[in-house]
Amino acid sequence: MEVRSPGGRPQIGKDVRDLIRRMSFENPLWGAAKIHGELLKLGIEVAQSTVSIYMVPRPDRPLQTWKTFVRNHMEGIASIDLFVVPTIAFEQLFAFLILGHRRRHLLWFGVTRNPTAEWLACQITEAFPWDRAPKYLIRDNDRAFGVAFKARVRAMGIRDRPTSFRSPWQNGYVERLIGSVRRECTNHLIVFNAEHLRRILSKYARYYNEVRTHVSLGKDAPYTRPIERYGNIVAHPILGGLHHRYTRT
């Protein structure tokens, strides 16, 4: 007796269906074509239309979080922020910092009494030659980052990414840097004027980039610091002995 095929689309195994759902859930930015391509590379032959049927419905799929965005684009992100440093005469100075996310480099700093949008735009121009500008720039919504600043960033081909309202954690890398600068430098020194603060930050920047070890970098410095195994250990004072660098001679 001849058995006829019931017709219609052939069923796929539960393990393949579960894999499609897993890929769909773990990669919310992927469509059916991307998932289908991955399945083909795993030796699983299914139709793309079948993949679209078993994907997690889009309304129920999580959006890309801010943390995911930062992690995925680490290579091309820089973040900026301002913080206040008082002088011996109780004058307020503003220090402007730019941090590169890839190796936590302190890329640039500036000091001013009045951080206007025009001054901040000039800082961005000086910090990044045209061929070295980051793809994304994370900042808060301070009014200092006004029209002139936004226009300069846009003209340089940088994608401006202001953080959400009252969400300083979204700019956590540079906030952590500011905390380090305060705890390890400015809280322990008396600043006389803007030029004095520039000299202090210049010395700290060299220490931060070339000497200071970072947990997130596997206890290395942003500018990779070589391991010295032989010779006598010598201490070199930094910032008047506030910190030291230890080397072998």
pLDDT in tens, 138-168: 999 999 999 999 999 999 999 999 998 878 8
Which one of 1-15, 44-58, 85-99 scores highest in mean pLDDT? Answer: 85-99
CA distance 27 to 116: 41
What is the share, in percent, of the chain residues with pLDDT greater than 70? 93
Query: Of all helices (H) and strands (E), which one includes residue 7?
Result: none
Least confident range from 10-19, 55-64, 69-78, 224-233: namely 55-64
**Local structure of 119: helix, strand or coil:** helix
pLDDT at residue number 203: 97
Instruction: Please give the C-alpha separations between residue 166 and each of 147, 161, 169, 171, 217, in angstroms, as whole numbers.
Output: 21, 15, 9, 11, 29
What is the share, in percent, of the chain residues with pLDDT greater than 90? 60
DSSP H helices in 93-229: 117-127, 147-155, 172-184, 194-210
Domains of the chain, each with CATH number or no CATH? 14-63 (no CATH), 69-217 (3.30.420.10)
Whole-structure pTM value: 0.74
Query: Of all helices (H) and strands (E), which one includes residue 84?
Result: strand 77-86
Count CB neighbours of 187 within 10 A. Answer: 9
Write down the residue that tokens 């799929």 correspond to. Answer: 61
Nearest to 148 by CA among 122, 114, 126: 122
Across residues 86-97, what is the average pLDDT?
97
Nearest to 127 by CA among 98, 162, 104, 150: 98
Assess whether pLDDT exceeds 80 at residue 62. Answer: no
Phi and psi dihedrals of 21, rounded to 5? -65, -40
Give the mean pLDDT of the chain: 89
Nearest to 180 by CA among 210, 207, 145: 207
